[in-house]
Each structure stands twice: as structure tokens, then as C-alpha cells.
Amino acid sequence: MFEADTLAVIFVGLMGLSILLYAILDGYDLGVGILLPLDQGNECDTMIASIGPFWDANETWLVLAIGLLLIAFPSAHSFIFKELYLPTAILLVSLVLRGVAFDFRAKAAFSHKPTWNKVFKVGSLLAALSQGYMLGMYVMGFENTLMAYAFSLLSAFGVAAAYTYIGAAWLIMKTEGALQKQAVQWAKKSGWICLIGMIAVSIVNPLINTEVYLKWFSWPNMLYILPLPIVCFALFAVSNQQLKYLPQKDDKNCWLPFVTAVMLFVLCFFALAFSFFPYIVPGKITIWQSAAAPESLSFILWGAIVVVPVIISYTAFSYRVFWGKVQELRYY
């Protein structure tokens, strides 16, 4: 059906799409969990209700991305998770904590709800930090150096801030009243931390990776790629300006911060993808070196043709059904 090189590009594209959608969709619900105010019981219920119909399905994209990595690029899967064994274990534990806390906070005795709120918040924060640390180690090429560990820690807090930012933007769009006003303040504060993290990655990435530097600063790539950081900074400025005037009468423009945050996620992801392509392990393994046999990829592609549109369809349908302002969370 397709040549081996083309199949590798198709599957890395599907994997990239899965990672991007996971970062956006599960990113905002992790952000909501991080923002959970432990001293405001009613606000906690409203915040949990805003992600209630979506949060579990959002993790489907993480499962799909890892599954594609395992099946389509087995040697890269082995290398990456050998290097990231501990943060991966922490991520899995944190996701389990979130799942348990989500159900138990509503079904356990009322006096235990604050405890499960704390567990949900801790699980959300650990998940964000572990993902950020893994991203930092990936960017640093899995080096065992003090600089790599320091940058990975910075990346951990940067990703947690980014999730907090998009989570606050989600709450601005989905809530009303005092909580919406509080979400505006959260978005303002976390947005500045995101900006600092983005600047740090933009500086460090080309400095430590010669190939990335040559990609970004060679002609004619400069003409197309260097405007990306400028556009990102402009979006931050626009978002910060929007937040000054929110909430507005009749809830006008409450969706703009979330759309801006999604655009920032897409641009940053594209910049990282461009920086490292065709390497699936930076500086070590390309997608063609790691790809499974063409016969296997051709067979799996038929499954992907069915599965990916189905996941996109039910995701879109769920968001369509639960569109609008959040309502009280109910368990049946």
C-alpha cells in the first residue's frame, strides 16, 4: 500500500497527533486538578463537574500514543522507557490516584471528601510534573548530566504551569460568578510562568542541540520557523490583554483564553516536532531506523484508519453533548 519510509512518516504523524491532543485535552483537566482549592468545598465540586464528562476519555490519547510507539517504533519504545522508567512509574501511580480520588470523593463519607480532594490535587500535580520531567529529558537527549537534570526539573514546572494555564482558561469558559473571576486570576499568574518556560526552552534547545540550531538558523528555514516564537509571544500578550476585561457582561468572549491556550500548545508542539524530525530519539534513532517491518505497519494501518476516526468522533460528540456552562456533578 505504502513504501516503508512513507509508513514510518504516517505513524509518527499519528503518534504526534495523539500526543498533541492528549497534552491539550488531558492538560486542561490536570490543570483543573492542580488548581483545586482545598478550602472551598463548593468550588471544588464545580471544578470537578467541569471535567467530569471528559477527563477519563481524554487519557485515551495517551494510551493511543504509547501503543503506536510500541507497535510502530519498538526499538525507540524500549530505549525511551528504559531511560524514563522512574518518571513513567510516577506518572502511572498519579493517574491511578486521580481515578480513585475522582470516584471516592463522591461515594465515600462526606467527612472524607476533603481528603480525596487532596489526593486528586496531588495526583494531578504529580502527573504534570512527571510529564514535564520526561519532556525535559527527551529534549536533552537523555543525557546523565547535571545540566540535563536541572533542565528537566525546569521543564517539569513549566509543563505544570502550562497545564495550570489551560486549566484556568477552561474554567473561565465553563464556569460563572466568583469561580470564574478566580480562574481569571489563576490564568494571569500561570501565564507568566508559561512565558518564562517557553523562553527557556527556546534558548536552551538550539544551544544544546547542534542539529536543532542548524535547522532553525539555516536559510530558508529561518524565514518560516523564526516567526513562531514571535507569534507565541504575541498570543501571550493578546491573552493577557483579554484577561484584563474578563468576565464581561453576558459572558462575552469567555472562550477566547482557552482558544489562545490551545493555539500556543499547537505552535509549541510544532516547533518541537520540527526541531527533532526525523529523530524519534533525539540525536540517536530516526523514525526509519526504529520503524517496524513494512508488512506489520501496513497491517496495523488498517486498524488505525478505523480506530483514530472513531476516537475523534466520540470525543467531538461528548464535547458537543456537554457544551455550555458546567452543571452540578451527579453520580447515578
Cα–Cα distance measured from residue 61 to residue 72, given in angstroms and rounded to the nearest whole number: 16
pLDDT-derived band at 110 (thresholds 50, 70, 90) equals: low
Q: Note down the domain range covering 20.
A: 4-321
122 belongs to a structural domain? yes
72 belongs to a structural domain? yes
19 belongs to a structural domain? yes
306 belongs to a structural domain? yes
Report yes or no on whether pTM surpasses 0.75.
Answer: yes
326 belongs to a structural domain? no
The Cα angle at residue 229 between residues 225 and 235, in degrees rounded to 5: 125
For the chain, report the end-to-end CA distance as a whole number of angstroms: 48
Q: Please say if the pLDDT value at position 48 is more than 80.
A: yes
Cα–Cα distance measured from residue 124 to residue 27, given in angstroms and rounded to the nearest whole number: 10
10 belongs to a structural domain? yes
Helices 4-35 and 146-174 meet at what angle, rounded to 10?
Answer: 70
| E strands, 253-296, in order | 279-281, 285-286
pLDDT-derived band at 258 (thresholds 50, 70, 90) equals: very high
> Chain centroid to CA 101: how far?
21
Tens-place pLDDT, residues 168-179: 999 999 988 888
Cα–Cα distance measured from residue 4 to residue 297, given in angstroms and rounded to the nearest whole number: 8
220 belongs to a structural domain? yes
Cα–Cα distance measured from residue 216 to residue 225, given in angstroms and rounded to the nearest whole number: 6
> Distances from the Cα of 14 to the Cαs of 10, 32, 59, 68, in angstroms?
6, 27, 16, 8
Tens-place pLDDT, residues 20-47: 999 999 999 999 999 998 776 678 888 9
- How many domains would you assign to the chain? 1
The answer to whether 26 and 128 are in contact (CB under 8 A) is no
